[in-house]
Amino acid sequence: MGGFAAEKQVIREFYADLARCDDDDVTGVLERFYDANHVWRGYHPIHEQRGPRAVAESFWTPLRKALRHMQRREDVFMAGANEIDGFQSIWVVSMGHLMGLFDAAWLGIPPTSKMAFLRYCEFNKVEKGRITETAMFFDIPHLMMQAGLQPFPPQTAAHLVQPGPMTHDGVMHDPQAAEEGEKTLAAINAMISDLGQWNSGLSLEDELRRTWCEDMIWWGPAGIGATYTIERYARQHSGPFRASFNDRSKTKHICRLAEGQFGGFFGWPNFTATPSGGFMGMPATGRPGEFRVIDIYRREGDKLAENWIFIDLLHFWNQQGVDVLARMAQVPRT
């Protein structure tokens, strides 16, 4: 693990050019930074796109026209070597909110003419000065809630415009000590090992205490919500989630990395599971569904303290026969 200065600089220049350009120039900016065969993975209904023009036309240009005067309000910026491919590739990660004036509809979500925040997390693979792959996940249901819509039944935990790390040190432009990143990756891997079992022989709370701080915060997506402390996390998300699914597959990731006291991963999908009833107030369907997830973590000592989660719930429920965006287009605003 190193400082990854060159890769970080590519992404910082990309973000700066994207912020400065006119809507008509978005494709040109992407063509300057993206490889011609670039692969972009995003949320339902955008999904996978290939090449700069497709990404501009399907995502960036429509979003910029909806969220005017957009700002990228960054809470985490880091880079690392990807454990999944034997630490061969370098990825740069940015997490925070895209904020703007919600002046035009996006994906059928009605505008409010007020400030709106779109939670995002973006992984960019940088090779020889070019961006060759991107995973960019967002919390579209939270944007819907800001527009007065209720895409899901009442959630088990709280949902907020989520803050960044309590320590305010997640934006890492400068190199971090390699051993700190190694500790963070080890903590994440230990948590993944426990999570993959669902049958550790311990109570859920005691299992979580192996890898989580007692006052951990799980910043979950809209529809589930955020929860604080091991006891409330077990009650408000982890316990209900485990009870609501059968046939959970093994976890698979495309990228997993860490730098300093932060780290994270994404999969496409991370795992599949079959709802047995109760998850997010929905009945059992008997249909396996994909969970596309990004997780970002902050480590404190040798355990995990904060976790920001992006789950493509629109994709999951679409696989269950529920088109949330189409349904919401027919519901009056509250």
Number of domains in the chain: 2
Find the mean pLDDT for residues 250-266: 96
Verify that 210 and 323 share a domain, yes or no: yes
In a domain, 170, yes or no: no
In a domain, 156, yes or no: no
How does residue 1 score in pLDDT terms, banded at 50, 70 and 90?
A: very low
In a domain, 12, yes or no: yes
pLDDT at 112: 97
pLDDT at 277: 82
In a domain, 164, yes or no: no
Peptide bond into 269 cis (omega under 30): yes
Residue 179 CB: number of other CB atoms within 10 A?
9
In a domain, 59, yes or no: yes
Q: What's the number of CA atoms in the CB half-sphere (13 Å) around residue 233?
A: 21
pTM of the model: 0.95
Q: Mind listing the pLDDT tens digit for each residue in 183-211?
A: 999 999 999 988 756 566 789 999 999 99
Residues of the domain holding 249? 178-328
- Percentage, residues of the chain above pLDDT 70: 96
Specify the higher pLDDT residue, 244 or 78.
78
The per-residue pLDDT of the chain, averaged, comes to 94
pLDDT at 299: 98
Encode 222-258 in three state secondary structure: CCCCEEECHHHHHHHHHHHHHHCEECCCCCCCCEEEE
